[in-house]
Structure formats: structure tokens, C-alpha cells
Amino acid sequence: MGKRTEFLYLNEEEMIKAGVLDAERCIDVEEEIFRLLSTGDYVMGGDKHNSHGIAIKFPAMSEFPNMPLDGPDRRFMAMPAYVGGRFNVTGVKWYGSNIINPQRGLPRSVLMVMLNDPDTCEPIAFMAGNLISSVRTGCVPGVGTRYLARKDAEVCVCVGAGPVSKACFEAIRVEAKNLKEVVIYDLFKEKAEAFAKSVEEKYGLKAWAADSLEEAVKLGDIISVAASSVAPVNITNDWLKPGSLIIFTGRCNIDEPYFSSAKIYWDNAKMHEVYFDEHMQLPEDKRFINGIGVQVYRMMHEGKLPPITEAASLGDVVCGTREGRVSDDERICFITSGMPVWDVGWAYEIYENAKKLGLGQMLKLWDDPYLN
Ligand SMILES: NC(=O)c1ccc[n+]([C@@H]2O[C@H](COP(=O)([O-])OP(=O)(O)OC[C@H]3O[C@@H](n4cnc5c(N)ncnc54)[C@H](O)[C@@H]3O)[C@@H](O)[C@H]2O)c1
């Protein structure tokens, strides 16, 4: 007789009851994971154990009528990781992204997370992933704000008014204790206005929609960029105030003099080394075009900035082994392209909460594995 295996299934409603929207808690959990990143107690995919994940990208044209075609933010992606420390769990986030989904009443990306026992390899949970992903994505800028923003930051600028930008704001708000004003810029002003209205109603902060990117960015003490890649976000060096923190959660370009004078921190420089190497394997005219922070990779490649191997990771600042903000005047850029360690760690926390609260449904894999 073999071993019975069952796992917990959690739908989105149950995820919410188990606390997935709790940004304050998630920031602390992500901070813990930043420490594990710094000490090395994690493994991600690929030869260097630092891959963001593997994507299915569709061709521009196909002879097969059902095959999806390439487009902005169009992909499927598997993002596996082992997270150490008290988590000691393996898992994968699996998602598809299609920019026309909102027209069908669906989010742009649809995500699931699976957790597995790292020893027996059995599944322990299968859960709705959209909120895990958006909250963890937002809470990384929350940790960035905790360590890199001026303590007296009063104005937060949000570029993009989609779910990821909203999640970033939720977490930045927790950490920016002196916040007074929120300025939102989106290509669609009505989306920015709706976001501003919800911020005013929920938090009583002054919030409004800007007419231009320039108008918004010039005001920001903290600028959070989380727009989709339908149109580039191009920022000019002199729009950014002394002491400002700009966080790239989505793609963003700033003209080169900014990067030569600002401090740059990465979510995990080791992962960006892998990305950098992947770009170097592409033909020259295809390098450093797609991805968050690729402009900085290009400057590194051209010798205009120190190499990626010397780049600073936020985890090292969290652990105190690398200097963070040292003055109120310095301008800082924090670049985060996301990692499965955060999905898996936050999913594990919610799974533990759900077990304590008796939420979810146990599903049987087998009573006795057929191929035992
Ligand atoms: N770094 C990470 O960990 C991470 C994780 C998840 C998603 N993301 C990125 O976050 C971005 C936003 O995700 P989402 O789900 O909220 O997307 P979404 O498509 O639902 O919303 C994006 C919003 O950005 C706006 N926008 C697009 N281009 C703009 C521009 N140039 N200026 C101003 N607004 C602009 C759109 O109008 C839209 O309202 C995506 O690009 C995604 O790849 C990053």
C-alpha cells in the first residue's frame, strides 16, 4: 500500500479570507525573503539558479489557425522557486497574459500558484494566484520604500492605473508615513481619475489625475512606474527631484544622465546577471530592447556604468551589508522585475493561514499511487 496524497485547493474568495490582501503583513514577509536572497537560502531555475522563469512567446505569424500570435504583454510563463528559511517550500507560479482580456471581463493575466513539499515532491496546495502576484508585486516597492525613500516623502506619483500599480500604491502608502498627496498618470485619464477617487475615499488623501507624465513625475517624492508596455514611459532626468525615489515595477526609460548621477538598486542583482547574459546571447540589434531595466543593462554593456556583477541588491541593504540611502538629496532608482521566490513565500504564508482557519477544499491526488 502506497501513501495517500491530497492537497489544499484555495479559490480567490478563500485567498482573501486567508489574508492575501494584507499588504502590511506581505511587506514583512517580503522583507524576510529579501534576507534569504542576500544570504543565498533560495533556489530559482536555470544553471545559475537565478532565472526569473521560462516564457512561451508566440510567433508573429503562424500557418496554424489556432496558434496564438505575439502581441504586447502576450505570453505564458512558468516561474519556479525553492524558498528556504522557515518557509522551506518549493512552488511555481504559472500564468498567461493577454492584453485584450479586460474586454472579456478578465484580468490581463490569469495566474495559479502550486506549492510542493521539497522532500517528497507532493503537491501541498493549488491556489488562485492573481492576488498573490499583485500583492507581492506591490509589496516589493513597499520594502523599497521602507529602505530607500526619504522618511518625509509627501507626494507619491503612480504611473499606470492598472491592478499592479494599485497594489504598489497600497504598499508604498503603508511605508510612506507622511504621505499627503497622490498623483496618478495613465494613458486613459478616466482610469487615473477612478483610481484617484478610490484613494481619496479609502484613505482621505488628496489624489488627482495628471494630464501628462511630466506634470506628474515632477511632483513626486516617490514615483512608482507600473504601466503595461503598450506605450513606453519616457522620463527626463531633470523631471526627477533631489531626494526622489523612482521604482520600476514595469518598463520605464530615463535619459542617460540620470543613471550616471543616481544610485541604482535591484531586487536581486544575481537574477539580473542572468537576464544580462541572456541579452548578450541575442543578435546585437535585438539586445536590451524588452524587459524592465534593460536601458541600464545597455549602459553597463557600453561601459557607462559599472558592470552588473557590481550592482547593488536591496536584500544586502536589508541585511546591512550594503549602504542604502545616506542623504536626503540623493536620487535613487529601485528596479524590480519580480521573482517567483516572492510568490512562493507569500503563497506559503496564505496557505498556513488557510489551514489555521479551516478554509479551502482538500483534493485527492491518489489513495495509493498507481505507479508506485
Ligand atoms: N515587476 C514585477 O514583479 C511585475 C509583476 C507583475 C506585473 N508587472 C508589470 O506591471 C505592469 C502593469 O501590470 P497590470 O496588470 O497592472 O497591467 P494592465 O494592463 O492591467 O494596466 C496597465 C495600465 O498602464 C497604462 N499604461 C500603459 N502604458 C502607459 C504609459 N506609457 N503611461 C501611462 N500609463 C500607461 C494602461 O492604460 C493601463 O491602465 C505590466 O507591464 C507587467 O508586466 C511587473
Give tens-digit pLDDT for 74-100: 999 999 999 999 999 999 999 999 989
DSSP-derived 3-state class of residue 359 = coil
Host domain of residue 40: 5-133+341-366
How much is the pLDDT for 229?
Answer: 75
How much is the pLDDT for 230?
Answer: 78
Atom of ligand 1 at shortest range from CA of 137: 3
What lines the ligand 1 site, CB under 6 Å?
73, 108, 137, 159-165, 185-188, 191, 226-231, 233, 249-250, 292, 336-338
User: Are 290 and 212 in a shared domain?
Assistant: yes
How much is the pLDDT for 278?
Answer: 93
Residue 48 lies in a domain: yes
The CATH number covering residue 184 comes to 3.40.50.720
The conformation of residue 196, written as its DSSP 8-state character, comes to H
User: Are 309 and 351 in a shared domain?
Assistant: no
The CATH number covering residue 34 comes to 3.30.1780.10
pLDDT over threshold 90, residue 290: no
Residue 372 lies in a domain: no
Query: What distance in Å separates the CA atoms of residue 23 and residue 26, rounded to the nearest whole number?
Result: 5
| Mutation pick for ligand 1 pocket among 104, 111, 228 (CB with most ligand atoms within 8 Å) | 228
Mean confidence (pLDDT) of the chain = 96
User: Are 292 and 238 in a shared domain?
Assistant: yes
The conformation of residue 255, written as its DSSP 8-state character, comes to -
CB 264 within 8 A of CB 292: no
Cell of 304: 557607462
If one counts the domains in the chain, the total is: 2
Query: What distance in Å separates the CA atoms of residue 300 and residue 295, rounded to the nearest whole number?
Result: 9
* 227 CA to centre of ligand 1 in angstroms: 3
How much is the pLDDT for 254?
Answer: 97
* 279 CA to centre of ligand 1 in angstroms: 22
Residue 255 lies in a domain: yes
Residue 204 lies in a domain: yes
Chain centroid to CA 330: how far?
Answer: 24
pLDDT over threshold 80, residue 1: no
* 110 CA to centre of ligand 1 in angstroms: 14
Cell of 341: 521566490
How much is the pLDDT for 231?
Answer: 86
Question: CB count, 10 Å around CB of 231?
Answer: 10
* Percent above pLDDT 70 for the chain: 100
User: Are 275 and 294 in a shared domain?
Assistant: yes
Give per-residue pLDDT as tens, 162-210.
989 999 999 999 999 999 999 999 999 999 999 999 999 999 999 999 9
Rounded mean pLDDT, 114-133: 98
User: Are 332 and 358 in a shared domain?
Assistant: no
How much is the pLDDT for 43?
Answer: 98
User: Are 218 and 281 in a shared domain?
Assistant: yes
User: Are 40 and 150 in a shared domain?
Assistant: no
User: Are 276 and 176 in a shared domain?
Assistant: yes
Give per-residue pLDDT as tens, 243-261.
999 999 999 999 999 999 9
Rounded mean pLDDT, 49-64: 96
Query: What distance in Å separates the CA atoms of residue 129 and residue 333, rounded to the nearest whole number?
Result: 28
Query: What distance in Å separates the CA atoms of residue 124 and residue 302, rounded to the nearest whole number?
Result: 47
Give per-residue pLDDT as tens, 337-351.
999 999 999 999 999
User: Are 236 and 108 in a shared domain?
Assistant: no
